[in-house]
């Protein structure tokens, strides 16, 4: 698979709402900027970002079947909010559909919502680009944007902190990978 940016964006476009597609384009741009800043593979960052939300609007039943049937997907995902499913499931759908096999890109797509214990630089870039792309507007995002100018790890730690505190304030469960990512970066 030697996908270009435009091929990746065109592949996901029909499956996304317009706003979500526009978000995806901004995440791709943001990921390129971060990859340049922190010395990651720019092409991989751009592709992973372009593909990251592919499964966002897939039917829940379909995603549930993937989680039940593919041994590479942790079954405990079913115990947590279905918002967490589209990353891990999307990476495997893309593997089957377009022959996406690059383990670094697949990892970044998988963990873009939750983070995970030992995040690679590419994982961090896609996670952070998704959090700070210019269309995002929630409490604390500007502080994370500022931090992202100088430290990828510190910016990711701040984003994870905000996410955990937000979820707890809403009395929602927090997927263990998110805690592991936080502990690992602190």
Residue 10 or 173: which CB sits closer to a copy of itself?
Answer: 173
Q: How far apart are the first and last CA of the chain?
A: 36
Contact status: 164 vs a copy of itself (CB under 8 A): yes
Least CB distance to a copy of itself at residue 97 (A) = 33
Contact status: 171 vs a copy of itself (CB under 8 A): yes
Site string for a copy of itself, 122-161 (x = CB under 8 A): -----------------------------------x---x
Rounded-to-integer distance, Cα 58 and Cα 145, Å: 30
Contact status: 183 vs a copy of itself (CB under 8 A): yes
Short-list 150, 167, 148, CA closest to 158: 148
Q: How far is CA 183 from the centre of its chain?
A: 19
Residue 81 or 101: which CB sits closer to a copy of itself?
Answer: 81
Rounded-to-integer distance, Cα 142 and Cα 18, Å: 25
* Count of residues that bind a copy of itself according to CB under 8 A: 16
Contacts of 9 (CB under 8 A, 6+ apart): 21, 24, 25, 28, 50
Contact status: 176 vs a copy of itself (CB under 8 A): yes
Rounded-to-integer distance, Cα 166 and Cα 162, Å: 6
Which residues in this chain contact a copy of itself in the complex, by CB under 8 A? 157, 161, 164-165, 168-169, 171-174, 176, 179-180, 182-183, 186
């Amino acid at each position: 698979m030697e996908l270009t940016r435009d091929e990746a964006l065109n592949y996901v476009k029909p499956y996304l709402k317009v706003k979500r597609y526009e978000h995806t384009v901004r995440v791709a741009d943001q990921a390129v900027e971060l990859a340049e800043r922190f010395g990651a593979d720019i092409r991989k960052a751009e592709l992973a970002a372009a593909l990251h939300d592919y499964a966002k609007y897939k039917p829940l039943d379909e995603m549930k079947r993937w989680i039940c049937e593919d041994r590479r997907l942790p079954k405990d995902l079913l115990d947590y909010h279905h918002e967490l499913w589209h990353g891990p499931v999307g990476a495997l759908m893309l593997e089957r559909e377009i022959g996406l096999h690059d383990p670094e890109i697949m990892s970044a797509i998988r963990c873009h919502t939750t983070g995970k214990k030992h995040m690679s630089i590419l994982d961090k870039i896609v996670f952070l680009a998704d959090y700070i792309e210019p269309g995002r507007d929630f409490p604390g995002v500007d502080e994370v944007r500022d931090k992202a100018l100088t430290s990828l790890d510190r910016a990711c730690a701040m984003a994870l902190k905000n996410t955990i505190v937000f979820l707890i304030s809403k009395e929602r469960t927090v997927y263990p990978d998110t805690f592991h990512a936080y502990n690992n970066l602190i």
